[in-house]
Structure 1
């Protein structure tokens, strides 16, 4: 069901557009308060989630790029094999794919991922993230919801 690739493209365009806007309008490490508990803070992440392996010396760029490319191919194949009734799973996979591709573009083009969403409470800040990360997390949440039948999409076994 490759009909879901429009959602992937939307996630990639929204992600890349927001990152380019941040890159041209802010200085690295600049922070702009937007509302309570939310800032725009421009940072570069050379690692993975939560800056995992960001100080690894450079090899992680190609490792995470290869991993993202492999996962993207697998998700595209999975999407192609979905049944027509698997709407929520299709949307979930499309969002995860869009996020993976969005961050892959950054890693290959720049050697780092542009992060800018800074959520905090008091002096405690969640690690900065971006639209691609949000798409991946939303996709995983929807996939879990689908698998647990939270939205009535899981098939009930007779019993």
Structure 2
């Protein structure tokens, strides 16, 4: 698979991701929700940290996280380029492209959104507001909106620790970029042998040589 085709996958994912985030940011206030189905809703939240809302504590936690993401995206870009150069399998290049696009999509939020949008608390944000954004460069928040509460209810009393508590499955709110990363990782795990055929062959050769 060529680098050109991989780039088209990345551009397509980035466009869908950023268009959806711009729409949510400029049409929803934080916490606004649209019920599409009982099990699927559009819910606007902002994530200041990592996956599942985790944060790096301290004054420079957000800066460290964004810096780490920038370093990581360079590594993923090299992995993609090297895989194409070595004629890696199609499934490998597609998976890396999706992971790269997803990571890059969330980096755009983290790097620029604090500068180009004002806050969304009890109001719909403005793009490029005259008074300036809600944060500074590298201190933006990631926009999430996809919510799938597949089941909600009280857990049976016999379940240890959580019995009797109200529980929602699936609780996290995520975005298109997160979906791309998850799908890419899932493809690598599910089609591991197809994604890394050369490694499998070389491993077999070494074992044969060791026997003789």
Normalising by structure 1, report the TM-score: 0.87
Residue 122 of structure 1 corresponds to 152
| Aligned counterpart in structure 2 of residue 43 of structure 1, from 18, 37, 45 | 45
| Aligned counterpart in structure 2 of residue 132 of structure 1, from 177, 184, 194 | 177
- Cα distance 1:30–1:140, how it changes in 2: closer, same or farther (>3 A)? same
Gaps of at least 5 residues in structure 2 are 115-139, 154-167
- Cα distance 1:92–1:65, how it changes in 2: closer, same or farther (>3 A)? same
Tell me how far apart the structure 2 counterparts of residues 34 and 61 of structure 1 sit (CA, whole Å): 33
Residue 12 of structure 1 corresponds to 14
| Aligned counterpart in structure 2 of residue 84 of structure 1, from 87, 90, 99 | 87
The total of aligned residue pairs comes to 155
Quote how far apart the aligned CAs of 1:57 are: 4.8
Deviations 1:34-57 (A, max 9, x none): 112111000111011000117x35
Contact kept, 8 Å, 1:61 with 1:112, in 2: the verdict is no
Gaps of at least 5 residues in structure 1 are none
Contact kept, 8 Å, 1:106 with 1:114, in 2: the verdict is yes
Tell me how far apart the structure 2 counterparts of residues 153 and 76 of structure 1 sit (CA, whole Å): 17
- Cα distance 1:106–1:58, how it changes in 2: closer, same or farther (>3 A)? farther
Structure number, greater radius of gyration: 2
- 1:45-64 aligned within 5 A: 45-53=47-55, 56-57=57-58, 59-64=60-65
Residue 36 of structure 2 corresponds to 34
Q: After the TM superposition, which parts of structure 1 deviate over 6 Å for at least 4 consecutive aligned residues?
A: none
Normalising by structure 2, report the TM-score: 0.67
Does 129-138 or 68-77 show the bigger shift? Answer: 68-77
SS in 1 for 2:174: coil
- 1:73-112 aligned within 5 A: 73-82=74-83, 83-109=86-112, 110=114, 111-112=140-141
Residue 24 of structure 1 corresponds to 26
Quote how far apart the aligned CAs of 1:2 are: 2.5
SS in 2 for 1:53: coil
